[in-house]
């Protein structure tokens, strides 16, 4: 399979059958493998645009390849045109996840016990309630100064914020033009940590805020 | 070695969840528990009070709690005791606020004070509810993080073939450069405390007396100036603020009159004082604002009572 | 380590049919996936002995699993007893390599062009100021954990440390006995670049700076 150098083919979902930008890669499997190879050396989630540049394919085709790789790792059989479904593939020890605006390989949660001994670094330490509350406020109010977070949480947050910056879950983002206070934002690592693709995926804050009636209830109850 | 779990931890205990409270020590979150129930922090305490609707805030004997707290603080080292004490004062003040509100006759809101107290209460509840919302979100985030904790990201590490791929490193750093960089990094850490530095506020001592005298001279000569003209030569924002304060002092002394046609419009200042010197005003202003070596920020409150009289 | 406890193995090459040391993993595919998961995320090559401990299997069975995973990644069909060969598997974009007594997944050489396009996309020939400062701190405080460097610099240094390791200027040197964090030291190449014979030849720091003890205290307190 996989000749057709001419271009404009109709084989949707099989990027290799469309025009190949690189002279080297010819087959669909080649492209799958190339994307796989790039993901293998990435330090952080890789966006489809970056992958598209690296393997010289249009982004929508890379997207299709990513979906295929993800399904394959999960042991889900899908029928790709021109690709014989080779029985039920086994579920891999890794999964390909879409997080923080990109794609990255992760070990499968099922094997956390076997893997955890080999993973060093802060990843395994749990986030304290204080850290989570601070992250929550900053996630919704970013970019935001520490003083604003303190005002909402009612405690000094300097230490927690510094720790979170060191752990890569927060980053500084310039200063407030009026007060000169350092502003903080959440990082891609924060999104990864929660398994989110973007900050938009956080739950809405409004349902947690009571309506006026509730507020009056609460007020009269005191 | 206060919180060893926080150093970059491949701490084995982390996996078992023993260090869930690891950041705690970084906050002023109190280890003190009021004997009413196990509370852990000012807002937590207040939320707890609200949640237990049957609990009457007015019944909380602040004096007893204070006794317990003092006993607790005696067991702490100095720095920690200071932190906890300021935290406790915050809690106690808020409690007092709530007591005050509670003791007011709720049905007959008439006086300005009542309304102000109610507004304060609403504000307090708004803050509490906002915090409650974030707390719930934080719980959800914690659950998401925990659910995600079993997955570990692929880290590429060093690739045996990859070194050749990197462009040749351009290196023109000397050992002396490195020494300078290391010293700067180490020194910076000492120089940057966690607290907001106030030193810069005191850097330029601006003298209210001198500014008032200068403006008096200018106004006497011109008869009438705009505020813009009065602060035209001000070298810093602090000088502008001080001159404004000076004008207020002169106004109190009936030496000037203000005229402002529209809100935020140009402020016109007219000299209305006697030909004689307003030495009294200068002395009084200097006593209120200039004492303590340009400590302008701290004086705004201490000057309050005397001016209201 | 991981000597075979029972000895009387029947089904050679199919570890799952032997006694399972872990209560969690049951099938052959489970064991394959667990080994795969560890190899996928471990930062350095993992020895068969370490793998054997992690998945609670005798080492020779882990060796068989490694051979199977390697063959699978290479797209080579082998007949494993009790395992139906599911058509010809595709050759992966990664390969399982044995390096210095350990095993790890690496991107396949065939896709070097795409991989280098990706890697070079973000690389420059100069070290960033952040990287240089990190290098300076590590040079004077080695062996040192990333967290301690973070504490000094006030920012997360994971990314720059990786770059410096990639550049051969830093190397890992075991782990902290207390925290388990990886320790970093400068390399011979680093000395060579500076034209120094040994670390002792670095210019002395000003005596007014905090001593090493202070640093360690502070870092652990954060």
Residue of chain C with shortest Cα separation from A21:
C114
Q: What is the pLDDT of residue C190?
A: 93
pLDDT > 90? residue B110: no
Query: What mean pLDDT do residues C181-189 have?
Result: 89
Give B224's strand partners. Answer: B270
Query: What mean pLDDT do residues B1-10 have?
Result: 32
pLDDT > 60? residue B174: yes
Query: Which of the listed residues A118, A139, A157 is the one where a domain comes to its end?
Result: A118
Determine whether the interchain pair C38/A93 forms a contact, defined as Cβ–Cβ distance below 8 Å.
Answer: yes
Q: Which of B151, B172, B185, B187 to mutate to test the interface with C (most CBs of C within 10 A)?
A: B185
Handedness of CA A138, A141, A142, A148 (dihedral sign): negative
Main-chain dihedrals φ then ψ at residue C97, nearest 5 degrees: -115, 150
In angstroms, the separation between the Cα of residue C35 and the nearest Cα of chain A is 7
Residues 6+ away with beta carbon under 8 Å from C18: C6, C9, C10, C11, C57, C58, C61
Query: What mean pLDDT do residues A56-73 have?
Result: 94
Determine whether the interchain pair C41/B155 forms a contact, defined as Cβ–Cβ distance below 8 Å.
Answer: yes
In a domain, A204, yes or no: yes
Q: Which of A108, A131, A197, A211 to mutate to test the interface with B (most CBs of B within 10 A)?
A: A131
Q: What is the pLDDT of residue A39?
A: 94
Query: Which of the listed residues C65, C83, C118 is the one where a domain comes to its end?
Result: C118
Query: Which of the listed residues A118, A140, A156 is the one where a domain comes to its end?
Result: A118
Q: What is the pLDDT of residue C79?
A: 52
Q: Which of residues 190-219 of B touch C (CB under 8 A)?
A: 190, 192
Cβ–Cβ under 8 Å, residues A40 and B154: yes
Determine whether the interchain pair A135/B138 forms a contact, defined as Cβ–Cβ distance below 8 Å.
Answer: yes
Query: What mean pLDDT do residues C42-60 have?
Result: 91
Judged by a CB distance cut-off of 8 A, whether residue B148 touches chain C is no
Q: What is the C-alpha to C-alpha distance for residues B160 and A75, in angstroms, rounded to an integer? A: 30
- State the DSSP string of C46-62: B-HHHHHHHHT--HHHH
In a domain, A42, yes or no: yes
Q: What is the C-alpha to C-alpha distance for residues C149 and C84, in angstroms, rounded to an integer? A: 52
Judged by a CB distance cut-off of 8 A, whether residue B134 touches chain A is yes
pLDDT digits (tens, 9 = 90+) for C59-115: 999 999 999 999 999 988 655 444 444 556 789 999 999 987 899 999 998 898 888
Q: How many C-beta atoms surround the C-beta of residue C138 within 10 A?
A: 27
Residue of chain B with shortest Cα separation from A154:
B43
Query: What mean pLDDT do residues C149-161 have?
Result: 86
Q: Which of residues 67-106 of C touch A (CB under 8 A)?
A: 84, 86-94, 105-106
Q: Which of residues 157-186 of A touch B (CB under 8 A)?
A: 157-160, 162-163, 181
Cβ–Cβ under 8 Å, residues A185 and A176: no
Radius of gyration of chain C (CA): 22
Integer angstrom CA distances of residue B243 from B227, B228, B231, B299: 9, 11, 7, 15
Q: What is the pLDDT of residue B64?
A: 55
Q: Who wins on pLDDT, A83 or C91?
A: C91
User: Do residue A136 and residue A56 come from a single domain?
Assistant: no
User: Do residue A17 and residue A85 come from a single domain?
Assistant: yes
Judged by a CB distance cut-off of 8 A, whether residue B78 touches chain C is no
Within 8 A of A210 by CB-CB distance, chain B residues are 129
Q: How many C-beta atoms surround the C-beta of residue A166 within 10 A?
A: 27
Q: What confidence category does residue B247 fall into, taking pLDDT thresholds of 50, 70 and 90?
A: confident
In a domain, C3, yes or no: no
User: Do residue C114 and residue C158 come from a single domain?
Assistant: no
Q: Who wins on pLDDT, B56 or C18?
A: B56
Q: Give the one of C40, C179, C219 whose C-beta lies nearest to B10's C-beta.
A: C179
pLDDT digits (tens, 9 = 90+) for B76-94: 666 666 766 666 666 566 5
- pLDDT > 70 fraction of chain C, expressed in percent and rounded: 76
In angstroms, the separation between the Cα of residue B309 and the nearest Cα of chain A is 33
Q: What is the pLDDT of residue B276?
A: 54
Count contacts between A and C (CB, < 8 Å): 166
In a domain, A123, yes or no: no
- pLDDT > 70 fraction of chain B, expressed in percent and rounded: 39
User: Do residue A105 and residue A133 come from a single domain?
Assistant: no
Within 8 A of A172 by CB-CB distance, chain B residues are none
Which chains are within 8 Å of C by 3+ CB pairs?
A, B
Q: What confidence category does residue A138 fall into, taking pLDDT thresholds of 50, 70 and 90?
A: very high
Walk across the sheet containing B224-226 and list its strands: B224-226, B267-271, B256-260
Q: What confidence category does residue A216 fall into, taking pLDDT thresholds of 50, 70 and 90?
A: very low
Q: What confidence category does residue A102 fall into, taking pLDDT thresholds of 50, 70 and 90?
A: very high
In a domain, C1, yes or no: no
pLDDT > 60? residue C205: yes
In a domain, C2, yes or no: no
Integer angstrom CA distances of residue A144 from A151, A176, B137, B153: 11, 8, 17, 28
Q: What CATH number is attached to the domain comprising C12? A: 1.10.10.10
pLDDT > 80? residue A14: no
Main-chain dihedrals φ then ψ at residue B243, nearest 5 degrees: -65, -40
pLDDT digits (tens, 9 = 90+) for B263-284: 777 888 888 876 555 677 677 7
Judged by a CB distance cut-off of 8 A, whether residue B59 touches chain C is no
Q: What confidence category does residue A172 fall into, taking pLDDT thresholds of 50, 70 and 90?
A: confident
User: Do residue A112 and residue A134 come from a single domain?
Assistant: no
Residues 6+ away with beta carbon under 8 Å from A212: none
User: Do residue C104 and residue C135 come from a single domain?
Assistant: no
Report chain B's mean pLDDT, rounded to a whole number: 64
Integer angstrom CA distances of residue A197 from A9, B168, B246: 32, 35, 56
Q: How far apart are the first and last CA of chain C?
A: 37
User: Do residue A109 and residue A165 come from a single domain?
Assistant: no
Residue range of the domain that includes A141: 129-220
Residue of chain A with shortest Cα separation from B103:
A222
In a domain, A1, yes or no: no
Q: What confidence category does residue B104 fall into, taking pLDDT thresholds of 50, 70 and 90?
A: low
When mean pLDDT is compared over A56-65, B88-97, B184-193, B212-221, the highest value belongs to A56-65
Determine whether the interchain pair B23/A163 forms a contact, defined as Cβ–Cβ distance below 8 Å.
Answer: yes
User: Do residue A161 and residue A201 come from a single domain?
Assistant: yes
Q: What confidence category does residue A88 fall into, taking pLDDT thresholds of 50, 70 and 90?
A: low
User: Do residue C103 and residue C15 come from a single domain?
Assistant: yes
pLDDT > 50? residue A141: yes
Q: What is the C-alpha to C-alpha distance for residues A84 and B165, in angstroms, rounded to an integer? A: 36
pLDDT > 70? residue C21: no
Cis geometry, peptide bond prior to residue A143 (ω within 30 degrees of 0): yes
pLDDT > 90? residue C220: no
Q: What is the pLDDT of residue B12?
A: 33
Q: Give the one of C112, C125, C152 whose C-beta lies nearest to B167's C-beta.
A: C125
Q: Which of A74, A128, A141, A188 to mutate to test the interface with B (most CBs of B within 10 A)?
A: A128
User: Do residue A168 and residue A68 come from a single domain?
Assistant: no
Integer angstrom CA distances of residue C60 from B42, B140, B252, C1, C7: 59, 44, 94, 11, 11
Q: Poorest-confidence range of A138-152, B108-122, C20-34, C128-142?
A: B108-122
Residues in chain A: 222
Q: What is the C-alpha to C-alpha distance for residues B80 and C12, in angstroms, rounded to an integer? A: 63
Q: How far apart are the first and last CA of chain A?
A: 75
Q: Give the one of A112, A127, A152 whose C-beta lies nearest to B145's C-beta.
A: A127
Render the burial of B222-250: b for 16+ CB within 10 Å, e for the rest. Answer: eeebebeebbeeeeeebbbebbebbbebb
CA B228 to chain centre: 30
Residue of chain A with shortest Cα separation from C149:
A166
Q: What confidence category does residue B290 fall into, taking pLDDT thresholds of 50, 70 and 90?
A: low
User: Do residue A133 and residue A43 come from a single domain?
Assistant: no
Judged by a CB distance cut-off of 8 A, whether residue B154 touches chain C is yes
SS (H, E, C) chain A: CCCCCCCCCCCCCCHHHCCCCCCCCCCHHHHHHHHHHHHHHCCCCECHHHHHHHHCCCHHHHHHHHHHHHHHHCCCCCCCCCCCCCCCCCCCCEEEEEECCEEEEEECHHHHHHHHCCCCCHHHCCCCHHHHHHHHHHHHHCCEEHHHHHHHHCCCCHHHHHHHHHCCCEEEEEECCCCCCEEEEECHHHHHHHCCCCHHHCCCCHHHCCCHHHHHHHHHHC
In a domain, C45, yes or no: yes
What total number of domains does chain A contain?
A: 2
Report chain A's mean pLDDT, rounded to a whole number: 78
pTM of structure: 0.56
Judged by a CB distance cut-off of 8 A, whether residue A118 touches chain C is yes
pLDDT > 70? residue B236: yes
Q: What is the pLDDT of residue B99?
A: 59
User: Do residue C110 and residue C133 come from a single domain?
Assistant: no
Torsion of CA B68, B71, B76, B77, to 10 degrees: 130
- State the DSSP string of chain C: ----SS----STT-GGGS--SSSS--SHHHHHHHHHHHHHH-SS-B-HHHHHHHHT--HHHHHHHHHHHHHHHHT-----TT----SPPPPPSEEEEEETTEEEEEE-GGGHHHHHHHHHHT--SS--HHHHHHHHHHHHH-SEEHHHHHHHHSS--HHHHHHHHHTTSEEEEEE-TTT-PEEEEE-HHHHHHHT-SSGGGSPPPPTTSPPHHHHHHHHHH-
pLDDT > 80? residue B15: no
């Amino acid at each position: 399979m996989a000749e057709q150098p001419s271009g404009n083919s109709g084989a949707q979902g099989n990027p290799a059958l469309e025009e190949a930008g690189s002279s080297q890669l010819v087959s669909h499997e080649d492209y799958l493998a190339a994307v796989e190879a790039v993901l293998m050396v990435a330090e952080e989630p890789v966006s489809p645009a970056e992958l598209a540049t690296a393997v010289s394919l249009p982004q929508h085709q890379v997207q299709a390849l990513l979906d295929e790789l993800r399904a394959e790792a999960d042991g889900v059989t899908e029928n790709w045109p021109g690709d014989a479904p080779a029985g039920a593939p086994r579920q891999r020890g890794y999964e390909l996840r879409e997080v923080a605006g990109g794609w990255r390989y992760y070990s499968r949660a099922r094997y956390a016990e076997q893997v955890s001994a080999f993973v060093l670094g802060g990843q395994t330490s749990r986030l304290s309630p204080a850290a989570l509350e601070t992250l929550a406020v900053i996630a919704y109010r970013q970019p935001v100064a520490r003083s604003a977070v303190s005002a909402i949480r009612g405690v000094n947050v300097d230490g927690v914020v510094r720790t979170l910056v060191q752990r890569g879950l927060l980053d500084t983002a310039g200063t407030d033009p009026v007060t000169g206070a350092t502003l903080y934002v959440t990082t891609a690592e924060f999104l990864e940590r929660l398994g989110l693709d973007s900050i938009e995926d956080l739950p809405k804050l409004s349902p947690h805020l009571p309506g006026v009636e509730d507020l009056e209830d609460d007020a009269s109850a005191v | 070695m206060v919180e060893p779990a926080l150093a970059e931890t491949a701490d084995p205990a982390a996996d078992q969840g023993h260090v869930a409270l690891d950041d705690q020590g970084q906050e002023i979150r109190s280890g003190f528990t009021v004997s009413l129930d196990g509370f852990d922090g000012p807002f937590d305490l207040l939320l707890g009070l609200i949640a237990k609707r049957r609990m009457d805030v007015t019944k909380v004997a602040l004096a007893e709690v204070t006794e317990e707290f003092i006993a607790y603080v005696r067991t702490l080292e100095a720095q920690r005791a200071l932190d906890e004490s300021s935290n406790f004062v915050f809690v106690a003040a808020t409690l007092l606020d709530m007591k005050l509100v509670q003791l007011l006759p709720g049905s007959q809101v008439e006086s300005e004070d009542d309304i102000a107290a109610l507004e304060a209460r609403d504000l307090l509840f708004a803050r509490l509810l906002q915090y409650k919302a974030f707390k719930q979100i934080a719980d959800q985030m914690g659950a998401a993080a925990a659910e995600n904790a079993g997955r570990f990201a692929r880290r590429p590490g060093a690739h045996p073939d990859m070194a050749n791929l990197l462009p040749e490193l351009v290196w023109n750093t000397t050992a002396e450069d490195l020494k300078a960089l290391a010293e700067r990094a180490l020194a910076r850490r000492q120089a940057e405390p966690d607290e907001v530095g106030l030193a810069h506020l005191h850097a330029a001592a601006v003298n209210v007396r001198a500014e008032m005298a200068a403006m008096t001279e200018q106004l006497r000569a011109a008869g009438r100036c705009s505020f813009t003209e009065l602060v035209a030569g001000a070298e810093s924002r602090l000088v502008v603020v001080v001159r404004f304060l000076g004008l207020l002092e002169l106004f109190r002394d009936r030496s000037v009159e203000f005229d402002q046609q529209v809100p935020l419009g140009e402020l016109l200042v007219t000299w209305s004082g006697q030909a004689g010197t307003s030495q009294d005003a200068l002395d009084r202003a200097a006593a209120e604002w200039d004492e303590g070596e340009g400590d302008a920020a701290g004086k705004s409150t201490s000057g309050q009572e005397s001016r209201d009289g």
